[in-house]
Structure 1
Amino acid sequence: MKSEKLKCRKQKTLIISVLFIVLAFAIVSIGCASADLNDGLVAYYPFNGNANDESGNGHNGTVDGATLTTDRFGNASCAYYFDGKDDFIYAHVNINPDIMPSMTMSAWVRADEDSPIRQVISHDNRGYDRSLGIDYRGGGIGWSAFSGSGGVLGYSPVTIGEWVFVAVVYDQNLSTVKLYVNDTIYEEAGDLGLGWDYIHIGSNPSHVAYFAGAIDEVRIYNYALNQSEIKEDMEKCTLSTLVSLAEAVDNSGLTWFTGGDADWSGQTSTYYYDGDAAQSGNISNNQSTWIQTMVSGPGNLSFYWNVSSEANSDFLEFYIDCIKQDSISGDVNWEQKSYDIGPGLHTLMWKYTKNKGIDGGLDCGWLDKVTFSAGLTPH
C-alpha cells in the first residue's frame, strides 16, 4: 500500500522489480525515517530538481549560479554543482547560538578541488562562526569545521571526486564541537559567537570560500545529534523509494512531463491526499515551471491544487490545450477543481509563474490527486 511506503524524500532511479523489493525490505529493517530526527529538523534540502526546503518549514533556497547535477547514485538533477568561483545557494535559516544553542548541520559532498578555504554550509561573518567545509587550519588540508574565535576543528583528508558524509554538531551549553566525516569523529571545546541570520550553501556569506564540487542532502537540526543519530542521518537515504510525479499526483495511468525554468518534483511535506503531492520547481523572477500530461476525451478531469505566493503577482495556472482555464495566487488552501473534457487528444498543463516583483509566501504551488474518468459525456 502506498500509505505504507517510507518517507525518505530522495528521488531515485527505477530499478528492476526484484532488486527494488530487496532494497525496500532493507530500508524497513534499518528504520529509514526517525520521528525524533524529523521533529528536530529545521531545514532539509534533498535537491530533487530544485532547492526547496522539504522539512515543511518554508526555508526554500535561492540558487545563485549553482547548477543541477547527478547525485551519488547517478540520478540526474538530484544534487547541485558549485563551480568554486561564484556559485552558492542562499537560505534564510538562522543558526545563531541565541536561536539554536545546540544544532547539527550535515550534507553529502563531493569535492572536485581541495585547495582551502571552501565552505559547504556557513553563516560566518568573519568571526569563525558556525561553518562546515574544507580548511587548512585544523592541522592539515581537509574537511573541517569552525570551532570558535580563531579555531578550526579537524581535519579529515579530502579525496577528490569521492562522495562523503560530513556533519558538525554544536552544543553551546557544553561548549563542544564535534566533526563527523563518514565514521570518523573529531571533538574539541568550542565557544562560538554570532554570525549572519542566514546561511549559504557552497560558500561563506561574505562571498568568499566558494566550494568546488557537488553538494546534496543538506540537513539542519535544532539540537545536538548523538553518534547513533548521526549514523542514522548518514544512512537514512542511502536506500530509498521513488517518489515519482505519477505517485505524487496519485495517477499512474497518465504520462507526466515537467519543464520550464525548473522541474516539478514529488515531495511529502505538503499534500492533500495519501502523504505526497507534486511541487513546483524553485524559480526566480520572470520565470515559470510546469507539469503536464495528455488525455483522450471525452471525460471528466478532477484535481486538487494549492499555492503560497505573492498575492495577485505570482500565480499557479491551469491550461487545457494552451488556453488558461483558471489561476490561484496568494495563500490558498487546497481546492478541488473539475472540468469536462471534450472528444479527442488534449494537453493539460499546470504552470507556476513569477513576475519581476518581490517574493511572497513559500513561493510555490502544489498539485495532488488528479483523476480522469474517460468516456463520460461532457455536460
Structure 2
Amino acid sequence: MAHYPFDGDANDVSGHEHHGEVHGATPMKGKFGNAYSFNGKDSRIKLSASTIQGTELTVNIWVKTKDNKYGLISGANQSMDNEYLIYFDENEKLAPYYHGNSVKTDISVSDNKWHNLTVVTQIDQTRVYIDGLHKKTLEFGSKTPFNVECFWIGGDQDILNGGWEPSQQFEGIIDELRIYNRALTEVKIQALYKQPQVVLNKDK
C-alpha cells in the first residue's frame, strides 16, 4: 500500500516508504492541503515500481483537469509499455490497460472540476467509481500478477522510462493518491471520498 498526500513532496506516508521523485511538477493548492500541477509536457512524478504487486489493485486519486487525452498512471516493463495504464483516450473516456490489453468506457472527468477516481482491478473484472459512486463494472481483469519496472504518474511512457508522446501527457492537478494491493469494497471507497484523511484497516 502507498499513500501520497503530495503536500510539498512525493513521500509515501503509509509507512511502507514507497517514496517518489518529482520531475517538473509544480506544488500548488490542492483539494486537501497541497497538490501537484502538471503542464501536459514534461512534468511527471516517478513512483516506486514495487508499489504495484499481485493481480488485485485499487488506485484512488483526486484529479482536476480539462485535458481530453492523457495517460494518468503508467506502469511499464522492458517488454510491455502498457503493463498497467490508466488512460483517457481521444474521446475523453477512461480506457484502462492491463498487460497490453485495454477496454473502452464512457467515463470522463475532464470538466475542470475536482473528482475522486477509483479503479479497482481484480482477476476477472474492473470496477470504476467517480466521487464515491459506482459507475461501471467491466468484464476485464488481470489474471496474472503485474510486472512493473517503472511507474509514473502524469503521462504515458511508450518505452520503459521514456517515449513521452506529447499528446499523452497529463495537464491538470493531482492530489491524494492511494494505491492498495487489494480490491477495496464500495464502503471503503465511499469512506475515502467522504473523509480522504481516514486511515483504512491495513493501511499501516
The answer, yes or no, to whether TM exceeds 0.5 is yes
Partners of 2:127 and 2:48 in 1: CA distance: 24
* Residue equivalent to 1:87: 43
* Residue equivalent to 1:56: 15
**Sequence identity (%):** 27
1:133-166 C-alpha deviation (Å, 9 max, x unpaired): 4224xxx422342256442242323343211010
Contact between 2:75 and 2:81, CA under 8 Å: does it hold in 1? no
5+ residue gaps, structure 1: 1-41, 240-268, 270-379
Per-residue deviation at 1:62? 0.3
Aligned equivalent of 1:186, options 126, 131, 136 = 136
Q: How does 1:108-187 map to 2 (within 5 A)?
A: 108-114=62-68, 116=69, 118-124=70-76, 126=80, 128-136=82-90, 140-146=91-97, 149-172=100-123, 175-182=124-131, 183-187=133-137
Contact between 2:95 and 2:102, CA under 8 Å: does it hold in 1? no
Partners of 1:196 and 1:211 in 2: CA distance: 20
* Residue equivalent to 1:68: 27
- 1:156 alignment partner, SS class: coil
Q: Which amino acid aligns with 1:57?
A: H
- Tell me the TM-score normalized by structure 2: 0.80
Q: Which amino acid aligns with 1:188?
A: L
1:226-284 C-alpha deviation (Å, 9 max, x unpaired): 11111112222279xxxxxxxxxxxxxxxxxxxxxxxxxxxxx8xxxxxxxxxxxxxxx
1:235 matches 2:191: no
Contact between 1:84 and 1:213, CA under 8 Å: does it hold in 2? yes
Q: Which amino acid aligns with 1:108?
A: W
Are residues 55 and 205 of structure 1, via their aligned partners in 2, closer, same or farther at CA, if it must alter by over 3 Å? Answer: farther
- 1:94 alignment partner, SS class: helix
Q: Which amino acid aligns with 2:149?
A: D
Per-residue deviation at 1:179? 1.6
Partners of 1:70 and 1:90 in 2: CA distance: 21
Q: Which amino acid aligns with 2:50?
A: N
5+ residue gaps, structure 2: 159-163, 199-203
Contact between 1:66 and 1:89, CA under 8 Å: does it hold in 2? yes
Q: How does 1:308-327 map to 2 (within 5 A)?
A: none
- Tell me the TM-score normalized by structure 1: 0.45
Contact between 2:45 and 2:153, CA under 8 Å: does it hold in 1? yes
- 2:156 alignment partner, SS class: coil
Per-residue deviation at 1:49? 1.2
Aligned residues: 187
Per-residue deviation at 1:112? 3.3
- Structure with the bigger RCO (C-alpha within 8 Å, sep 6+) is 2
Partners of 1:63 and 1:158 in 2: CA distance: 24
Partners of 2:104 and 2:194 in 1: CA distance: 24
Partners of 2:197 and 2:100 in 1: CA distance: 35
